[in-house]
């Protein structure tokens, strides 16, 4: 493969991280504002506001605001006394980071808002967020903890079997004398 670099993966500088974080925040802010604007505009023109629509609109607006503010807080750079960037904050574009999950929340909420214009049943898509959180919690915390506990019990039982056999051999030696 021509053009492939071998060796250490390049790291981004703090200035580049800050610039990319600003662009990422702008993109997801615009996505949130776009989905909210489309929803409100079409809902005001064509839908009657029921208790469900009002409640879900408030919930989705709150999710948008909290997710965006969390990403903004994570990516806030720390400046030194001279005005240079001392710490770039968290890189919002790193794979597998918490920012990736927050971006997924914004995408899910925006999509749900727009689809809810078709039918109120699409509000149930918001349940995918907590379902995914429980699944991730199970896979990364609960299941490893349970299997670790079982492995420790197996090791303890194996050790006690070995100790028991050792004691039997000692007893045979003592009784044969």
Residue range 70-113, pLDDT digits in tens: 999 998 888 778 877 777 778 888 888 888 999 999 999 999 99
CB atoms within 10 A of CB 68: 19
Cβ neighbours of residue 21 under 8 Å, at least 6 residues apart?
A: 75, 77, 88, 89, 91, 92, 93
Burial class (CB in 10 A: 0-12, 13-18, 19+), 29: middle
Q: Where do the structural domains in the chain lie, given as residue ranges?
A: 12-118, 126-177
Q: Confidence class of residue 7 from pLDDT cuts 50, 70 and 90?
A: very low
Q: What is the secondary structure of 8-22 as a DSSP string? A: SPP---HHHHHHHHH
State the average pLDDT over residues 125-153.
84
């Amino acid at each position: 493969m021509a053009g492939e670099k071998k060796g250490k993966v390049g790291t981004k500088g703090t200035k580049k991280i800050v610039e990319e974080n600003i662009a990422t925040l702008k993109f997801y802010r615009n996505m949130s504002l776009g989905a909210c604007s489309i929803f409100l505009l079409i809902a005001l023109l064509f839908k009657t506001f029921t208790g469900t629509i009002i409640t879900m609109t408030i919930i989705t607006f709150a999710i948008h605001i909290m997710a965006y503010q969390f990403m903004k807080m994570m990516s806030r750079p720390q400046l030194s006394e001279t005005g240079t960037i001392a710490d770039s904050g968290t890189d919002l574009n790193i794979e597998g980071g918490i920012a990736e999950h927050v971006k997924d929340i914004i995408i899910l909420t925006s999509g749900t808002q727009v689809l809810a214009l078709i039918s109120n049943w699409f509000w149930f898509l918001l349940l995918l967020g907590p379902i995914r959180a429980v699944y991730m919690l199970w896979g990364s915390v609960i299941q490893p903890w349970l299997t670790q506990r079982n492995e420790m019990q197996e090791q303890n039982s194996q050790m006690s079997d070995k100790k028991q056999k050792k004691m039997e051999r000692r007893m045979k030696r003592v009784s044969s004398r």
